[in-house]
Chains A and B, each alone.
Chain A
C-alpha cells in the first residue's frame, strides 16, 4: 500500500501562487477557504533581504491529531495515508481546527458568493454540500488519485517543480530519494504527528 505524500522544495518556489488557485478551483472551496496557501515572508536585512515562500497544504499526518480530536469520527485516514473530513458526519465542533498544529483545517459558518450574496454558476455547481457549519480541509486531491494516479491539482500546475508528489513507502520514488538526499524535514516533528509532507531547503 502506498503512503502518498509530498516534498516541497523551497529553493524552487517563486511565490507565484498557481498552486493556491489551482487548488481552489479544483476543490471548489468557499470564499476564505484555502487548502494550499503559500505564505510569504521577508527575511534578512538590506541589501541581502529576500522574500521566502512557504507553500503549504494539509500534511496528512500518519498520526493525525485532528482525527483524534474529532468527536464524531468525521475524520478518517485511508490506507494510503490520506486524511479526509467527511462533512456529512462533521458536527462543527472545531476540535480538529484547534488540534492541528499546522492550521490546515478551516471551519466555515457562512458561504456567500465571491461577487456578492448571490452565487454565480460556478459557485452553484462547485461549493460543497454540507459546507456550512462544517470543517474543510485539503484532500490531497484524493478524487484525482482515485481516478487513476493523477497528481494533486497544486502539483499539476506548479511551474517550478517545487511541489513533488509521490509514494513515501517506495524507496525508489522521487519523493523518497529527495528526502534522503537532501535531508527532507517534516514540519514541527516534535509534535509527534509524522506528517507526509517534507520540506527541502
Chain B
C-alpha cells in the first residue's frame, strides 16, 4: 500500500511538545521523533499563541536541524585578516581550549574596562541570562541589532505614548475598519504571526474592511478590501491628511476621548509650553463652564475646553487641541496628494469611511459594563518606521487613532502587554500615561518622561535619544566613532549569537569596518553565515530542537505575542527533542559556565533574579550554583505557580493561565494617565539634546523635537539627480523571514517556484517607458554608487516610482548553496550615515533611490536567478 510511514520498523515513535524557532514568534509546536530522528513538526490545537497552526517556515524547521553543513566543533580563526569574502581559515579546537581562550580574553577586557564587552543576540529570553552576565561583568552593552535597525523604532515609543506598553495592535475581534500602513500584520508576518493570521482571516470573513497602504501590492494588500499604493516614506503626510479631513472638513473626532484621555485641553502659552499653575506647577486647562483656568486634575473633564483662545493674566492661552487642529490644515488632501501620489478624492473618501466606521459615541456592553466602542483602527510597522523621520511617521498614524478615540477601547488599537499580573500603567508628571511594566523598564527604555541626556556610556549612544526605546542602529557608529561621541572606552570583545547582523542590519561594508575594530569576536552559531565570517572563535550552538530554553513566549513582558482580548495568558518552553549534533552546546549554558570561570556567578544570579523578575521562593541563591535545568525550573515556577515547573513543561510544553478580562483587555477607561496628543515633552527633550551635542561639538539634528507632528521628506525624496528616479522597497515574504530561513532547501524551492522572490518587481508602465521587458537583467545603482543586479519582473502591483525587492536575499555566506547570491541584498543598497538616521528614534532610513540600466535583455539570456 501507500508508503507514508517511515521505512524501517519503528522502535520509537513519540511526540514532544516544544516551541518553534524559525522566527521571533515562538509558536507552540509538537515534534515527532521516530527512531531517534525528527520527522515532523505540527501545532497543538489547544496551545496558544498559534493554536495548532504552523507556517511554512515552522513546518520546514527540521530541515535546518538536519542540515549536514552545521557547525559541529569549536573553531578558531587561522587568518588574522578579516573582511567580507575573506576565508577565516577555521581550525578545529577543543571546548576546553575555547573556554580557556574566552576566559582569558574576557579577563583582559574586564581589566581594561568592563564596559568594553559587547553582547548581541536576537534569541528571545536567552537575553535575560545574557543581560545578567553583562550586568555581573559590568557592561551596559547588550544589543539585539538585527531587526532593531529598522523594526520598531517608530512603533515602540509611540506605543508607550499611547498605551504605556511596548506595542499596539488592532482589536481584530471587534474592529470593522482597519487601515494598515507599511505592515503585513495578520498575514503571517510581524508579531504573533500565526495567531493573528487566524484572527485576521476571521475578521475579513466577518466583513471587516481592510485598507492597505503600501508601495507594493503585498500579500496583505492582495487580500485587502482596497490597496492604496503610496510613494515610499510619505505615509505620515497621508495620516496627517486623514486627520485634517476628519477634524477640519468633517468635524468627526472624539471630543469626549480628547477631553478625558489626552492632553488636548491643556493650555499652551505662546512659547508652546504648557501654562502651569504657579503654585504646584501643574498644567492648566480652561474650564468652559466656569470660564476660568484650573489645573488639569482639578476640573471636571467634561468642562475642559478643547478649542478657542483665552486670556490668562495677559498671556494668550490656547488649548493644545486648538493648535493641533490648526496645524493639520497644512495637510489638506490636495497637498498630501502631491506628496503621496494618492488622489485627493481617495484621501477624503478613506478618511470619511474610517471616521464613520469609528462610530464615535457608540458603546458596547462587555462583562456587565459599558465600554466606548470604536471599531476602526490604523496600525503601522516597519514600512513607515524605517525612515529618516520614523518617529514622526509612527506618531502621525498613532494620533489618527487618538482623534477617533479608539486607544485601548473595544474595536480600536490596543496595548499589547496590558494588565499582566506584573503590570499597570500609571500617571506620571503632568498627568501623562507612563508604563508600569517592570520588564519594560528593565529591558527597554520608555519615552515618557524623557530621559535626561548625558554623556554616552553605551556603544549604542542611547543616552542621546531621550524619547526612543532603544538605539540599536547606532552600535556600529558608536564603535567606529567612539572618540567623536566621547565614549570613555573601546569595544574589546563581542559575544554574538543568533543575530546575523551582517545580513540583516545596516550596510554590510560599514558594519564590516566596525567588526574589524573589535579585537576579539566570539560567535555561537549552528551554521556559518555572513556574521560568523568575522568571528575569532566560532562555537557550535545547539539547534532549537536540541536545547532547553524557557519562556520563549511570554506575553507579560513580550509584546510580540499579544494576548488577545478574552484570551488566556500563556507560556511555552523549548526543550531538547534530540541530542545536540557533534560537540554543539546550548550557548546560554556556555555563558553560565563562563560566569563561573570568571567568578561572577553570584552577581549573575542576583542580577538574574531582578531581570527575569523571579519571586520568592524561586529566586536564585547567590551562594549556590545551579544547573541550567534548575534555573529553568525556578523560572517556570515563579511565573506559572509551584506545580508548573520544568517537569510540567517537559510534559505539556505550554501553560495556560487566567483569561484576560474585559477591563484588562480594554483598560483605557481605567487608566488615569493621559495620552499626549501635543508632544510638549519633546520640546524640553530636544533642547536637552541640543545643549549637550552643541557643547560636545557633535553634529546632531534636533529639528524633529517638535510638539506637533509633521511629515518631513527623507533624503531620498530630495535627491535632485533625475536619473535616480526609482525607490527600492523591501517587501515581506510569508515563507522567508530572518536570514536563517533561507538556509532551508524547502523554503528555497518555494522561492524558486514562486518566481517573484529573486527578481525585482517593476511597474509595467515604468518598464515600458524605460524600454525594459520581462526577464531582462538590470542593474540598480544608487547615487552613492552602490550597485546590484537582478532580473526584472514586470508587475501591475508595484507603485510606478518603485522597485520591489523582497526578503533578506543576496546571501553571500550560507550553509545552503542553492540560496547563495540569489536575489538582491536590500541593505547593501542603503547608506548608514548620520544624515540617514532618525535622531529621535534611531531608525535607519530605508528610503533609497536608484537608477536602472539594462545589462542584457531576456533574449540574450541573462543569468536567470
**A–B contact via C-beta, under 8 angstroms:** yes
Interface set of A (CB-CB < 8 Å, partner B): 11-18, 20-22, 24-28, 31-32, 34, 37, 40, 42, 44-53, 84-87, 114-116, 118, 120-131, 139, 141-143, 153, 156-162
Residue of B nearest to A47 (CB): B229
**Which residue of the partner chain, among B53, B227, B228, contacts A157 with CB atoms under 8 Å?**
B53
Q: Flag if A14 contacts B795 (CB, 8 Å).
A: no
Q: Is the CB of B765 within 8 A of A125?
A: no
Q: How many whole Å from A24's CB to the nearest CB in chain B? A: 6
Report how far A21 CA is from B750 CA in the complex, Å: 9
B223 x A126 contact (CB < 8 A): no
Docked Cα-Cα span, A199 to B561, in Å, equals 33
Number of A-B contacts (CB under 8 A): 194
Q: How far is the CA of A46 from the CA of B35 in the complex (A)?
A: 53
B40 adjacent to chain A (CB < 8 Å):
yes
A27 touches B4 (CB 8 A): yes
23 contacts between A and B (CB under 8 A): A11-B204, A14-B223, A15-B222, A17-B750, A22-B54, A25-B59, A32-B749, A37-B753, A49-B797, A87-B3, A122-B39, A124-B37, A156-B42, A156-B52, A157-B59, A158-B53, A159-B53, A159-B194, A159-B197, A159-B198, A160-B197, A160-B201, A161-B201
Q: Does B201 lie within 8 Å of A116, measured CB to CB?
A: no
A37 to B223, CA, bound (A): 19
Residue of B nearest to A50 (CB): B222
Cα distance A162–B205 when bound, in Å?
11
B187: CB under 8 A from chain A? yes
In the complex, what distance in Å separates the CA atom of A44 from the CA atom of B754? 18
Which residues of chain B come closer than 8 Å to A130, judged between CB atoms? 3
Question: What is the minimal beta-carbon distance from B423 to any residue of chain A, in angstroms?
Answer: 28
Query: Quick check: is B5 within 8 A (CB to CB) of the other chain?
Result: yes
B39 and A143 form a contact (CB under 8 A): no
The answer to whether B62 and A25 have CB atoms under 8 Å apart is: yes
Compute how far the CA of A125 lies from the CA of B3 in the bound complex, rounded to whole angstroms. 12
Q: Would you call B188 and A14 a contact (CB within 8 A)?
A: yes
Q: Which chain A residues border B755 with CB–CB below 8 Å? A: 40
Asked if B53 and A18 make an inter-chain contact with CB atoms under 8 angstroms apart, the answer reads yes
Whether B60 pairs with A21 at a CB distance below 8 angstroms is yes
B438 at interface, CB cutoff 8 A: no
* Interchain CA distance A129-B221 in the complex, whole Å: 43
Cβ-defined contact, B54 with A157, below 8 A: yes
Q: Does B298 contact A (CB under 8 A)?
A: no
> Counting CB contacts under 8 A, is B756 at the interface?
yes
Residue among B34, B222, B800 making CB contact with A51, cutoff 8 Å: B222
Residues B765 and A46 in contact, CB atoms below 8 Å apart: yes
A18 touching B56 by the CB < 8 A rule? yes
B618 close to chain A: CB less than 8 A: no
| Cβ A16 vs Cβ B55 within 8 A | yes
State A123–B746 Cα separation when bound (angstroms).
12
**B222 and A18 within 8 A (CB):** no
Interface segment among B63-71, B259-267, B640-648: the answer is B63-71
Contacts of B765 in A (CB 8 A): 46
**CA A127 – CA B1 in complex, angstroms?**
15
List the B residue with the shortest CB-CB distance to A113: B68
Contact partner of A40 among B39, B50, B745, B754, CB < 8 A? B754
B39 partner residues in chain A, CB cutoff 8 A: 25, 28, 122, 125-126
Q: Considering only CB atoms, which chain A residue lies closest to B58 in the complex?
A: A18
A142: chain B residues at CB < 8 Å are 2
Decide if B7 is an interface residue (CB 8 Å cutoff).
yes
Known: A14-B187, A21-B59, A122-B39. 10 other contacts (CB 8 A): A12-B205, A18-B188, A25-B39, A27-B4, A42-B795, A85-B2, A87-B3, A141-B4, A159-B53, A160-B200
Are B43 and A25 touching (Cβ within 8 A)? no
With contacts A21-B746, A157-B43 taken as known, whether A126 is within 8 angstroms of B6 at the C-beta atoms is yes
Shortest Cβ-Cβ A-B pairs, 6 listed = A49-B796, A160-B201, A114-B745, A51-B222, A159-B53, A21-B59
What chain B residues lie within 8 Å of A26 (beta carbons)? 4, 40
Q: Closest A residue to B816 by CB, please name it.
A: A115
User: Cβ of A86 and Cβ of B2 under 8 Å apart?
Assistant: yes
Complex: A42 Cα to B221 Cα, angstroms: 12
- The answer to whether B800 and A46 have CB atoms under 8 Å apart is yes
- State whether the Cβ of B554 lies closer than 8 Å to any Cβ in chain A: no
Q: Are A49 and B795 in contact (CB under 8 A)?
A: yes
Asked whether A16 lies within 8 Å of B38 as measured between CB atoms, the reply is no
**Interface mask (B5-25 → A, CB under 8 Å = 1, otherwise 0):** 111100000000000000000
A167 to B201, CA, bound (A): 23
**Cβ contact of B219, chosen from A12, A14, A126, cutoff 8 A:** A14
Q: B117 interface residue, CB < 8 Å from A?
A: no
CA distance A21 to B735 in the complex (A): 10
Query: Which residues does B use to contact A, with CB under 8 Å?
Result: 1-8, 34-35, 37-43, 50, 52-56, 58-60, 62-63, 66-69, 187-188, 194, 197-198, 200-202, 204-205, 217, 219-223, 227-229, 734-735, 745-747, 749-750, 753-756, 763-765, 795-798, 800, 816
Q: What is the predominant secondary structure among interface residues of chain A facing chain B? A: loop
Q: Which residues of B contact A16 (CB under 8 A)?
A: 55-56, 187-188, 197, 219, 734-735
CB closest chain-A residue, reference B201: A160
List, in ascending order, chain B residues with CB within 8 A of A21's CB: 56, 59-60, 735, 746-747, 750
Please tell me if the beta carbons of A161 and B750 are within 8 angstroms of each other in the complex: no
Give CA–CA (A49, B217) in the complex, Å.
7
Instruction: Return the contact of A125 from the options B37, B200, B797 (Cβ within 8 A).
Output: B37
User: Would A159 and B38 be within 8 Å (CB), given that A14-B734, A46-B765, A49-B797 are in contact?
Assistant: no
Given contacts A14-B219, A120-B66, A125-B35, contact A143 B7 (CB under 8 A): no
Q: With the chains together, A42 CA to B68 CA distance in Å?
A: 37
Question: For residue B204, which residues in chain A have a CB less than 8 angstroms away from its CB?
Answer: 11-12
Closest B residue to A27 using CB positions: B4
Shortest A163–chain B CB gap in Å is 12
Q: Which B residues are CB-close (under 8 A) to A153?
A: 42
CB-nearest residue of chain A to B34: A125
A21 to chain B, nearest CB (A): 4
Which A residue sits closest to B198, measured CB to CB?
A159
Cα distance A13–B219 when bound, in Å? 10
Q: Write the nearest CB–CB distance from A161 to chain B, whole angstroms.
A: 6
CA distance A128 to B7 in the complex (A): 7
A46 touches B754 (CB 8 A): no
Across the interface, which residues of A come within 8 angstroms of B7, CB to CB?
124-129
Contact A28 B4 (CB under 8 A): yes
Known: A51-B797, A84-B1. A160 touches B8 (CB 8 A): no
Taking the closest CB of chain A, its distance from the CB of B349, in whole angstroms, is 14
B229 contact set on A, CB distance < 8 A: 46-47
State A139–B1 Cα separation when bound (angstroms).
11
Bound-state CA distance A16–B750 (Å) is 10
Residues of A within 8 A of B58 (CB): 18
What is the CB-to-nearest-CB distance from B262 to chain A, in angstroms, rounded to a whole number? 35
A25 lies within 8 A of B60 (CB):
yes
Interface pair B227/A48, CB less than 8 Å apart: yes
Q: What separation, in Å, do the CA atoms of A117 and B5 have in the docked complex?
A: 23
Q: Which residues of A contact B53 (CB under 8 A)?
A: 18, 157-159
Q: How many Å from the CB of B769 to the closest CB on chain A?
A: 13
Residues in A neighbouring B800, C-beta threshold 8 A: 46
Residues from chain A with a CB closer than 8 A to the CB of B223 are: 11, 13-14, 50
> Would you give the shortest CB distance from B343 to chain A, in whole angstroms?
10
- Complex Cα distance, B735 from A53, in Å, reads 14
A112 to chain B, nearest CB (A): 11
- Asked if A51 contacts B68 (CB within 8 A), the reply is no
Minimum Cβ distance to chain B for residue A29 (Å)? 10
Q: Which residue, B6, B37, B59, has most C-beta atoms of chain A within 10 A? A: B59
Q: How far is B4's CA from A26's CA once the two chains are assembled, in angstroms?
A: 8
**Contacts A16-B56, A17-B750 given: A122-B62 contact, CB under 8 Å?**
yes
Give Cα distance in the complex from A162 to B41, angstroms: 20
Interface centre among B220, B222, B227, B800, by most A CB within 10 Å?
A: B222
Provide the residues of chain B in CB contact with A37, threshold 8 Å.
753
Interfacial chain B residues near A123, Cβ < 8 Å = 66
